[in-house]
Chains A and B, each alone.
Chain A
Amino acid sequence: MTLPAARRSPLPDSSTAAGVHGDTHTGAHNPALLHHFAEPQQQRDAASLGMWVFLATEVMFFGGLFCAYLVYRRLYFGDFAAASKTINMGLGATNTAVLICSSLTVVLAVWAAQTARRTLLIVSLIITMLLGVVFLGIKGIEYAEKFEEHHVPGASFSFKNVPIPGHPGQFADPHHAQLFFSLYFVMTGLHALHMIIGLGIFLWLLTMAWKGRFTPEWHTPVEIGGLYWHFVDIIWIYLFPLLYLIDRHP
């Protein structure tokens, strides 16, 4: 295994970098190789596997919520359909499109890092973040709508005389509708929290890219940050139909 020639640091003496814990970007060897790894490939593999394993835990984290959702959706299908009708499908669909576009720009960013296109990398990261902010803004508008309609669970929750789709004359049980909105806010809220964390990660990636830290040999943070972003997108891809499209027919 040949070591990459990524000697970007101005420091001439490579002996100073040995054994430095943590951030070794000032080191004179490969700026990112941590002391306990034998070679950059091993470090890349470890970081990548680490992110995949972390995403597995995230799947289980959201899995508990999906499980709760499925139980109650099965128990109270009509009430869930009625509640689902009151959330804004147009905005949800727009957000889905926004996130899919952001996934594209993430892929572009990774490709730009691999092929040393620094400007494209920076532009892709910025567009990704902008799309993330747009997503959160639209989500905020949706939350505000729900707040005004008294659909936020809690003391002021109100869901009176909302008909159950397909069952004329029947109205949804407010308690069961509140269950739907509880799950809606917990699931989309936790998803939004992940988006905010993702924006933080991308801000850090952007500063690193701005300083020119990423090279075709070492751009692991872009790759695993991108993995995280894709994962958060995929969660939304599941949330959208489950929450917005219950019992909707063309």
Chain B
Amino acid sequence: MPTPTPQPERENYLNKHYGVWSWLLTTDHKRIALLYLISITFFFFIGGFFALLIRLELLTPAGDLVQADTYNKLFTMHGMVMVFFFLIPSIPAVLGNFLVPLMIGAKDLAFPRINLLSWYLYIIGGAMMLHCMLTGGVDTGWTFYAPFATNFTNTKIVEAALAIFVAGFSSILTGLNFVVTIHRMRAPGMTWSRLPLFIWAHYATSIIQLLGTPVIAVTIVLVAAERSLHLGIFDPKLGGDPLLFQHLFWFYSHPAVYIMILPAMGVVTEIIACFSRKRIFGYSFVAFSSIAIAVFGFLVWAHHMFVAGMSVYAALVFSLLSYAVAIPSAIKVFNWTATLYKGSIHYDAPMLYAFGFLGLFTIGGLTGLFLAALGIDVHVTDTYFVVAHFHYIMVGGAVMGYLGGMHFWWPKISGKLYPEGWARLAALIVFIGFNLTFFPQFLLGYMGMPRRYYDYSHMPEFQVLNVLSTAGATVLGVGYLLPMIYFLWSMRYGKPAPDNPWNAAGLEWKTASPPPTFNFDEEPVVTWEAYNYDELDAPHDDAPRSKEVPVAR
């Protein structure tokens, strides 16, 4: 039961206004972050439901639960929903929206109304996608390759593509807001070299959102025009080039992977520094490796097309560049590890997720190098090896980072503490469930099981590993439900959170939990370096510290 607090509750962004319209018309970045949180959670469970059906179908070799057409739609909608309506907005639109102004000491993002517009665009795109699903869905795979998608499938490709088009502008506007905010809204003293690395990661992410998303947008325009008018832009029968579609598609969709993983890297950096009570090792290397990933990320797209009939010289170059992306990624992993070294490590739930991220991202990244190697790629293209690889990055990496971040900042967002025991249990369940789901898929893929098959009755030897994978998916599902339940529980019954429950560095912890509407009662002035955990943990220096801290009361 919540104990009544002696002093009246402070005014904050949650209790300042009440009513539906105070939420639907809000321009407060923190409220918009919560709107996003609710919306992407909704789509996460829809996408998860499709995943569950896919795994149930693959429990037995025969195609017995669903028919081929339905199965095609299941994996297509799973991919489209998870990529465009969960993963891409996940950390930037929820945690980024909430934290970017707080971390740099601003009252709001630079363009609050554009921020609200971006949420409405997301909702419009989401509604179109829902309508598309309910009236038949799409069966092309989330990549909607031409000419199948443009000339042959009789499913609702145009509607789905337009849904992605609209949601894409939501993503562009979020990125635009972040770039301008980070450039122009930093508090006095918040120099670039004092920025939390979460901010650097979001800056890099925003660059990709800004420069990549318009390309998929115009590709979708061409697909819609081609499909409705049969122009022949991607139809080889009419002189068009289907490879051009793949180039344009992956020019966005490969960097999109970095839209998902870079923010998670930012989250993990914050968590690792806090729970090992150390300054991050090699601050500028971690910061610039984010930028390097964003830049290199634009130069590797054609490694998705090694077997598509591309020139072998182009393939060689793209293979080499794909290897190059591993360098900044490895810089990050080594710097995190070096931060842990001789740190005073605390195994709280956010840190467990960060550890999970470290291991799973490393596996996902290294198997990515297998796929960047031309010879191995030819062997495992379109097998479960690829499926396992990108789930290790997107789920093992991005979702672990997202959950870790949600736990880390939940006290700040909600003003309540979540139950730590349950959270640690959930982190463990997610980690075990994830590996049980996806590690068997590496083996399946390497042994030759193709992706997108609903019936593998001619290769029944694959059933054992598929049963393991389905069992793991069930465990994983429980692991994902748990945080949702105890987060909701904590909003009502959780203990009130102090302003800085982790004794963490960073401006967001120097204001109230939850923060007031304009974040800081007086404009903060930053006089310390990022991750000054040595100063925070120095004994008996409470007095000087509280002097320089702008506290919202």
Contacts and interface: CB of A to CB of B under 8 A. Distances in A.
Interface of A: 19, 21-22, 34-36, 38, 42, 45-46, 49-50, 53-54, 56-58, 60-65, 67-68, 71-72, 75-76, 153-155, 173, 175-176, 178-179, 182-183, 186, 190
B19 to A, nearest CB: 15
Contacts of A22: 27, 112-113
B172 A68 contact: no
A35 B211 contact: no
B211 A175 contact: no
B259 interface: no
B232 A35 contact: no
A46 B180 contact: yes
A42 B184 contact: yes
B204 interface: no
A57 B211 contact: yes
A175 B229 contact: no
Interface of B: 27, 106-108, 110-113, 172, 176, 179-181, 183-185, 210-215, 217-219, 221-222, 225-226, 229-233, 238-241, 244, 247-248, 251, 518, 523
A67 B110 contact: no
Contacts of A155: 230
A60 B211 contact: yes
Contact of B184 (A49, A60, A61): A49
A64 B215 contact: yes
B27 A53 contact: no
7 contacts: A36-B106, A36-B185, A53-B210, A60-B215, A75-B241, A182-B225, A182-B229
Contacts of A65: 218, 222
A154 B239 contact: no
A71 B214 contact: no
B231 A53 contact: no
A38 B222 contact: no
Contact of B221 (A36, A72, A178, A186): A186
A3 B375 CA distance: 65
Contacts of B230: 154-155
Nearest to A173: B239
Given A49-B184, A57-B176, A175 B214 contact: no
Given A21-B112, A64-B219, A176-B239, A57 B225 contact: no
A153 B229 contact: yes
Contacts of A46: 110-111, 180-181, 183-185
Given A46-B180, A175-B239, A60 B214 contact: yes
Given A42-B185, A75-B241, A175-B232, A56 B218 contact: no
A58 B231 CA distance: 24
A42 B110 CA distance: 10
Contacts of A190: 218, 221
A53 B180 contact: yes
Given A49-B184, A61-B217, A154-B229, A21 B248 contact: no
A98 B392 CA distance: 55
Contacts of B226: 182
Contacts of B183: 46, 49
A68 B222 CA distance: 10
Given A21-B27, A60-B212, A186-B222, 7 more contacts: A22-B113, A34-B112, A36-B108, A46-B184, A50-B110, A178-B238, A179-B233
